[in-house]
Amino acid sequence: MNEFKIFNKSVDDYLTKEMLTFILYPLLGSALVLYIVFFSAASFGLESLENTQIQIEQYETKVENGEVIESTTTESYTGNSILDFLLKYTVTSWIVSFLVYTVGLFAIGYLSIFVSLIIIGFLTPRILAIVHKRHYENLEVESNFSIIDGIGKIIKTAFVMILLIIVLIPFYFIPLVNIIAINLPFYYFFHKMLHFDIASTITSKEQFVQVYYNDKGGMRLRTIFLYVISLIPFVAFFISVFYIIYLGHVYFTKLEQLEQN
């Protein structure tokens, strides 16, 4: 089955009433987490402002009766008055607004991907069971992955992601290159955990090696496609169920091919 047919079949499954119901779980779960994180961050930011003080010195030179007079005035800003000061001027107001919205959108985007992945992980067996029953009922599936395998995979993948974030810091300041450098660690985690989530549900360890490593490039391209879509703000809330359906079809199709051989 070619990729186009797999994709169309995945879309058809995704749009069924049963699958659309699953969307509510990552949507509500992510909204709750983001709500908590937003107010926690806002509270922390306000507390930090209250304990911060800045002093602005202004120099003025004027001529009176042929004599040059220099004067210095110092203004102190503390707490919320710092924000009032920054927003008082057009340039600083624009910079503050730009930083808040930009950082906020990036934070929401990445956080929504991680939260959706975690929540959808609990739904993966149910989603794949439906796909299996609808399209691959004659295919026998087995899994010999353990909870220890899952915990070990999460720890190892998270460690490598954090290591990549640190190692790639110098590249964050290079235009264009920084786009790849920033996203590479998060994509690595996304790719590894998504494939492990599906493989550990419907394949044995031996089957996973055969399925994944015989099409390593294709597997990467598929998750790159899904990851790029997920970077669109709020899309990850709705598309995480599609991750499982689409890659589930890919794995089921390849398991069928293994069985025929």
Q: What's the whole-model pTM score?
A: 0.74
In a domain, 87, yes or no: no
- Report the domain count for the chain: 1
Taking each helix axis from N to C end, the angle separating 216-230 and 205-213, rounded to the nearest 10 degrees, works out to 80
The distance from CA 259 to its chain's CA centroid, rounded to whole angstroms, is: 35
**Extended strands (E) in the chain:** 53-64, 67-78
Q: Is residue 26 part of a domain?
A: yes
- The closest alpha carbon to 184, from 208, 168, 203, 206, belongs to 168
221 in any annotated domain: yes
Of the chain, the percentage scoring pLDDT greater than 90 comes to 32
In a domain, 237, yes or no: yes
Q: What is the pLDDT of residues 151-187, one digit of tens each?
A: 999 899 999 999 999 999 999 888 888 889 989 999 9
Cα 18 to Cα 120, 127, 134, 135, 239: the distances in Å are 15, 9, 12, 15, 15
The verdict on residue 151 lying in a domain is: yes
CB 241 within 8 A of CB 27: no
Cβ pair 246, 7 in contact under 8 A: yes
Confidence of residue 23 (pLDDT cuts 50, 70, 90): confident
Instruction: Report yes or no on 38 lying in a domain.
Output: yes
Residue type, 239: I
Phi-psi region of 163 (alpha: psi -120 to 50; beta: other; left: phi over 0): alpha
Estimate to the nearest angstrom the gap between the alpha carbon of 233 and the chain centroid: 10
Closest listed residue to residue 82, CA positions, set 37, 48, 116: 48
Average pLDDT over residues 137-150: 87
What residues contact residue 7 under an 8 Å CB cut-off, 6+ apart?
A: 246
State percent of the chain over pLDDT 70. Answer: 66
The domain of 230 spans 3-43+108-260
The verdict on residue 56 lying in a domain is no
The pLDDT value recorded for residue 123 is: 86
List pLDDT tens digits, range 27-81. 676 666 666 666 565 555 545 544 555 555 555 566 555 565 565 555 554 545 5
